[in-house]
Amino acid sequence: MLTRAALVLVAALAIGALIGRTLPSLLIGIVLAAAVASALSAMLPYWVESAELKPTESIFTGGHAIPLTTGHAYRDADGTPMSSEEGEVLYQAIYEEYGPEPDPALLPQDVWFGVAASRYPEVLARESVALGAATLLAGGLAVVVVQRRRPGG
């Protein structure tokens, strides 16, 4: 969070230096903060490889560190992977055929995909490096613009 805040602060300074007016710079800075937060949240599944989560890493284990889930599918009783849609159809067919309490061995197994909580330090390091680089670029832009706007500079 600190690196995100630093990026937004430095980018807002650069925007303020470019525009030179307080209120438009403030409004653009607010929009920029929302855009950075949304973009980073949306991009995380793309720059961190998603893998099948073990049952102990599932969001339903009740642990303190909850994994970032990026997908869901099913596995048939014999281990064959199937899409969520196919799994739901199979669930429905089994419940229709065997009633409200079918044999659990017949039901498809839930398979969750995502980033295990144990990988969070790696993810945090990658994000911090990317945000640090962006902060340095925005800071460099702010310095250049401020130097050009200085009277006598």
- Read off the pLDDT of residues 9-54 as tens digits, 9 standing for 90 and up: 788 778 887 887 777 877 887 887 788 778 877 877 777 778 888 8
Confidence bin at 64 (pLDDT 50/70/90): low
Residue 1 is predicted with a pLDDT of 64
Token pair, residue 20, equals 């030179």
Distances (CA, A) of 150 to 19, 46, 143, 146: 14, 42, 11, 6
Does an H or E element contain 53, and which?
none
Asked if residue 61 has pLDDT above 60, the reply is: no
How far does Cα 44 stand from its chain's mean position? 4
Predicted model pTM: 0.56
Token pair, residue 87, equals 């799994």
Alpha carbons 138 and 132: distance in angstroms, whole number: 10
